[in-house]
Amino acid sequence: MAAATASTATRQLPFRVGGKKIFLPNHVVAFVRPKPRQPPNFATFIVPLQFNKLDFRDYLYHVYNVEVNAVRSFINEQAPQRRHNGEGRWYRPRSQKMMMVELVKPFVWPDVPSDLSPWDKSFFDAEKTVREQEWDERTRWTEGHPRSSYELQKMGRHTQPKELYQQAQELLEGKRKWASSATLDEKWIEVEQDVDVVKESKSQEGVDASSETKSQ
């Protein structure tokens, strides 16, 4: 009797479904808002990388009772980025898999509500303001002291390697004097004249040491 009921239920389905059973799903599927010119019978989703087209078709039907005519999938490769706020080692985040389905029944997204007070928008705006203020206070001590070549270029103080090599050669040849534009602490005292330090050669020290040994 149970086998007959199962076979009857299978025949009533609009398509042949898979036999994979998932009791504790841990995957996350996100419904993406369509682009302005996207037809209402197409829907875009962000799905796990291990999903295939048949899995997603059965998922929409069993969970939301949504039938689809076709499924297209593509993978978005994420751009490289740094790990810690623009610093640290470069790495490429995990790729993102997306699927676009052709719906049997079109779905039109609702318009964005003008009044967002039921969703506590004022609270989130205040939290964002406080977070930006904390970030400004944390990075205020670095003003004028860039830490990367991007910040140097942004401040107009980026120097190409060829220019650095040319400046170093001029310093070695005595054609140019080194000068720092950084403001030093009051504890530092500028020396107006260079002090010549006479260094004795190792040979002279050896002669003095041998003469002292003989005298003893």
pLDDT at 195 over 70: no
Condensed to tens digits (0 to 9), the pLDDT of residues 39-83 reads 999 999 999 999 999 999 999 998 899 999 999 999 999 999 888
32-41, 169-178, 199-208: the lowest-pLDDT one? 199-208
Which position has the higher pLDDT, 54 or 15? 54
The predicted model gives 139-158 an average pLDDT of 58
Which position has the higher pLDDT, 139 or 83? 83
Instruction: Report pLDDT for 88.
Output: 80
4-13, 57-66, 101-110, 130-139: the lowest-pLDDT one? 4-13
* pTM to 2 decimal places: 0.53
Q: What percent of the chain has pLDDT above 70?
A: 67
Selected from 3.30.70.330, 3.40.50.300, 3.60.20.10, 3.30.750.24, the CATH number assigned to the domain covering 30-103 reads: 3.30.70.330
Contacts of 148 by beta carbon, 8 Å cutoff, 6+ apart: 86, 87
Which position has the higher pLDDT, 61 or 191? 61
CA atoms of 180 and 145, how far apart (whole Å): 13
Where would I find the beta strands (DSSP E) of the chain? 30-32, 42-47, 68-76, 81-84, 87-91, 96-103
Instruction: Report pLDDT for 182.
Output: 67
69, 102 contact by CB (below 8 A): yes
Instruction: Report pLDDT for 36.
Output: 87
40, 108 contact by CB (below 8 A): yes
